[in-house]
Amino acid sequence: MDVVSYGEVVVDLITLVERFPRGNEKIFAERVERHPGGVCANFAVAASRLGLETGFMGAVGDDVEGRFLVEALKREGVDVARLLTLEGKPSPVNIVLVEKGGNRVIVQSAYMLSTQLTPDDVDPGYIAGFRAFHTSAIIPGVAERASQAAKEKGLLISFDLEEQVAVYGLRAIRNILRNTDILLTGLGASAIIFPGAGALDSLMRFARYGPKTVVAKLGEKGCAIVTKGRVERVPAFKVKPVDTTGAGDAFDAACIYGTLKGMSPEEAGRFGNAAAALKCLRTGAQAGLPTREEVETFLSEQRSKSG
């Protein structure tokens, strides 16, 4: 199989509004939708739609929401042999507000941290059956053990570092970084890890801790890729976003897909930007994830426009 991810799997209650409410204000929602989500579950689905054979490591509660999440991954062809159902634990449900124009804010469930695997749940034999391993390190101890197992078996390792994990500090993620080949992050997370450093300097500093490639996801500005001390900026594609939820996960999966298929870092970044742009056109983190054919058609259309 191709790639396995470890991390979050949650239910997203996506609430579409004209604008975000002000303090002490009540507003009406245009509609509320229930979607499967969670950054690493999204990654697994995104990679599956691109044509990779994927697996997911994580946990859900023994409730209606947990069964909903398991079935959603199964429908997408994601292997769930190491997706555990924990008795007596609730599945996390996140509240996602999306305003006109696609901007969103997320209130995350505390159960994302408590309905989780432990380091003892990591199965090195299962990980060894893949070519690549991806994580958000939502529980650093679990991610460290899993990434070490992946490294010992020679897998390509990618780490999506978000602000919610960056706040744990460099010490908590140091060993994960040491195991990482491709770090995917944002300027917010890098500023937390390296306070006071400039944007470019913080990306360069990450490379000292292990990653061969550092990719900064810059939203509507595309991405910046640091490899072998060189920085390459890859511009985004202009679209009118409906919902940006899951765009970063679409980018991550497409970038790893491209790497596994032999693309250069810049080519993989462009492929990732295309996948992220397409995801923004539809509501829902997973519902909007594009197929490989859709990404390739979009890129072909963009080349025709520019040529």
Q: What is the predicted pLDDT for the residue at 307?
A: 62
pLDDT tens, position by position, 246-289: 999 999 999 999 999 999 999 999 999 999 999 999 998 999 99
Q: Give the single-character DSSP code of 56.
A: E
Rounded Cα gap, residues 232 and 224, in angstroms: 6
CB 283 within 8 A of CB 247: no
Place of tokens 């529980």: 139
Reported in sequence order, the residue ranges of 109-176 that DSSP labels E, i.e. its strands, are 132-135, 156-161
Residue 85, SS3 per DSSP:
strand
Q: What is the predicted pLDDT for the residue at 199?
A: 83
Q: Which of 303, 260, 259, 299 is nearest to 276 (CA)?
A: 299
Q: Does domain 3-306 have CATH number 3.30.930.10?
A: no
Task: Locate the domains of the chain by residue range.
Answer: 3-306
Is residue 210 scored above 70 in pLDDT?
yes
The mean per-residue pLDDT over the stretch 90-115 comes to: 93
Q: Name, in order, each residue with C-beta under 8 angstroms of 209's C-beta and a sequence gap of 6 or more.
A: 170, 174, 177, 178
Rounded Cα gap, residues 270 and 146, in angstroms: 29
Is residue 102 scored above 90 in pLDDT?
no
pLDDT tens, position by position, 27-39: 999 999 999 999 9
What are the residues facing 219 on neighbouring strands?
Answer: none
Residue 103: band (very low, low, confident or very high) from pLDDT cuts 50, 70, 90: confident
Rounded Cα gap, residues 244 and 80, in angstroms: 26
The whole-chain average pLDDT of the chain stands at 95
